[in-house]
Chain A
Amino acid sequence: MLVLSGVSYRYAGYARPVLHDIDLRLADGEIVGVVGANESGKSTLCLVASGLAPGSIGGALTGGGLSIDGEAMADKPLHEFSTRVGIGFQNPATQLSGVTGSVFEEVALGPMNLGLTQPETVERTKAALATLGIDELWDREPRRLSGGQGQLVVIASLLAMRPPHLVLDEPTAQLDPEGTRLVGEALRKLAASGTAMLIAEHKTDLLDDLCHRVIALDDGRIAFDGPAGTVLEDERLVALGVDLPSRVRVASALVSRGLDPAAVLA
C-alpha cells in the first residue's frame, strides 16, 4: 500500500506549496484516478507519490510524508523506489532512453539496471511485453514507434521493474484516439492483473471505465475523494475545470430534455 499522509510540497525556489495537506491511500490492486484543472497539482502529486519529488527534482516536503508498505520512504535512495513504484509521463518520446536499438532492449534496460542476471532480465522483459500484448514489437526501433505504441513500451518498461504500484501522469495526453484506445486497453489488462495504479488524466471517460476511486484536486488540495461513479457524476467537477464523462453528460442532456436516461440508453 502506498500512502501519502498530510503531504504538503513546494518546488525549489518557491515559497508557496503546490500541494497542501494531501491524504491519499493506494491499496494493493486499487486504481485511483486524479482529476483537476491544469496547474491544480496533478503532476506534482504524481512526482511526490513516486518519490521523484523531492528526491530527484528537489524542493521540499513542508509537511507529511510518503510510505510504501508501511515503510517511510524519506531519505531512501531513488533506485529503491524503482522496484516499489513506477512512474510514466505524458510524452513517450522523452521517456524512452534513447540509447537502445530495439523495443526488447528498451524494456530490458530497467531490469539490467537492477543488476539482474541475463536470464532474469529476458524473462521479465518477455513477461512485460506479453502482459501488454506488444510481443510483436520486440525488434522494432523505439524511435520509430507511433505515440500509442511508444507509450505502451514505456509502460512495459515500468512493468518489467515489477513495482506493485504504478503512477501514470496523463498517459494518453499526447496520443491520438487510436493511441488512447491502445493505452486504455493496456491499462485494463494491468488493472485485471492486480497492479495498483494512480492515474492522473483529463480524459474522464478512461477513468470512469477503469478506476475504483477518484480524487479531484483544486489548487493543490483534495476537493473530492470517493468512489469513481460518485465523484465523476458530481456536476461540481465542472467548476473545477474537469469534463464529466460522456455517459454523465449524455444522461444529463437527456434529463434536461425530460427524457429518462435509463430508458433511452437501455
Chain B
Amino acid sequence: MPVTPSPYHRLNPLTKAVIATVGSIGAFVLGGYVGPIAIMVIMLLLAWRAGVLARLARVSLLLTLPIAISVVLVSVFTRAGTTVLFQIGPFDATAEGVDFALQTLVRLFAISLSIGLFIMTTEPRAFVFDLERRGVPPRAAFIAVATIEAVPTLVERATMISESQRARGLDTEGSFLTRVRGLLPIVGPVIIGSLTDVEERSLALESRAFSRPGRRHLLWAMPDEGWERVLRWVLFVLLVGAAVARLTGRI
C-alpha cells in the first residue's frame, strides 16, 4: 500500500481523479473569473491540507508560465477591441484583449492546480490498481502504470548518457543552438536503450504469467468510503449542471 502522509492522500484515487477532472473541466465550463478563481482557491486549500501547497504552487507556475506568456501576448495584441490601451508598432493592446488574457490565465492556473494536486497526492499504481479493481483489464492497467513510472527511468538514463557524452567532450552548454546540437547524440541511445529494456522486460513478465487471461486478486486496495462515492456523484452532477447552465446561457 502506498504511503499516505495526509488525509487527502488517503482519499480513494478515483475521488481525487474526479476532483481533478471536475476542477479542470469546471474551470473551462464556468469561464469568467469567479468560477475558475473559486476552483483555484479550493485546490490551494486542499493542497495546504495535503502538505503540498508550496510544491504545487511552484510546479503549477513553472508549467503554466510558458503557455501563459504566449496566451497573454497573442490575446492582448491580436484580439479586436474598442478600448486601445497602448500601441507597439502595428499592434494595438486592447482592454478586451487584456480581459480575455486574464480570463484564460485563471482557467489555465485552475486546470494546472487541479491536475497537479492529483499527481502530487496519488501514486499512479494506486490509481490504476483501483481502476483494475473496478473492472479495467489488468493489461491496460499495467500499460498505464508502466508508462507513467517509465518517466523517471528515462530521465535517469538521459542524464547518465548526457554526462557520459559530456565526459567525452560533447558540448551541451551554451547557446540554444549548441544545446540542440548537444541533444542529438543523446536522443538515439536513450530511445534504443529504452526499446531494448522494454523487450527484456516483456520477456521477464511473460515468465511471470503476465499474458495469462482472467482476473487477478489484488494484494491491496485503497479504501473507498460511502461519503466519497456520494461526493463523486455530487461533483459530477454539479459539473453537468454547470455545463447545462453554460449551454443554455444562464451563466
Contact B145 A110 (CB under 8 A): no
Task: State whether A83 touches B209 (Cβ < 8 A).
Answer: yes
What CA separation (Å) do A105 and B150 show in the bound complex? 18
Judge whether B149 and A115 touch: CB under 8 Å: no
Q: Which listed residue, B128, B204, B218, touches A94 by the CB 8 Å rule?
A: B204
Q: A109 at the A/B interface (Cβ < 8 Å)? A: yes
In chain A between 199 and 232, which residues have their CB closer than 8 angstroms to a CB of chain B? none
Instruction: Report the bound CA distance from A262 to B206 in whole Å.
Output: 48
Indicate if the CB atoms of B210 and A101 lie closer than 8 Å. no
List B103-160 residues whose CB lies under 8 Å from chain A.
123, 125, 128, 138, 142, 145-146, 149-150, 152-153
Binds A, one of B167-175, B195-203, B228-236: B195-203
Residue picked from B123, B214, B218, B219, most chain A C-beta under 10 Å: B219
In residues 86-116 of chain A, which contact B (Cβ within 8 Å)?
86-89, 91, 93-101, 104-105, 108-110, 112-116
On A, residues with C-beta under 8 Å from B are 47, 50, 52, 55-57, 77-79, 81-83, 86-89, 91, 93-101, 104-105, 108-110, 112-118, 121-122, 143, 154, 157-158, 161
Q: Is the CB of A56 within 8 A of B206?
A: yes
The range of chain B's interface size is 35 or more
**Contact, CB under 8 Å: B219 / A94:** no
Given contacts A101-B2, A101-B125, contact A112 B219 (CB under 8 A): yes
> CB distance A99 to B125 under 8 Å?
yes
Interface secondary structure of B, over-half rule: helix
Residues of A close to B138: CB separation below 8 A: 113
Q: Which residue of B lies closest to A100 (CB)?
A: B125
CA distance A100 to B209 in the complex (A): 16
Instruction: Please name all residues of chain B whose beta carbon is closer than 8 Å to the beta carbon of A95 when the two chains form the complex.
Output: 200-201, 204
Q: How far is the CB of B160 from chain A (nearest CB, A)?
A: 12
Asked if B54 CB lies within 8 Å of chain A CBs, one says no
Least Cβ–Cβ distance between A260 and chain B, in angstroms: 48
Q: Is the CB of B211 within 8 A of A99?
A: no
Given A108-B219, A112-B218, A112-B219: A97 and B205 within 8 A (CB)? yes
Are A117 and B209 CB-contacts (below 8 A) given A57-B203, A98-B201?
no
Question: Which of A55, A94, A158 has a CB less than 8 Å from the CB of B208?
Answer: A158
Which residue of chain B is the closest to A87 with respect to CB atoms?
A: B207
Residues of A within 8 A of B205 (CB): 97
**Is there contact, CB below 8 Å, between A110 and B208?**
yes
Q: Known: A56-B203, A118-B219. Contact between A99 and B208, CB under 8 A? A: no
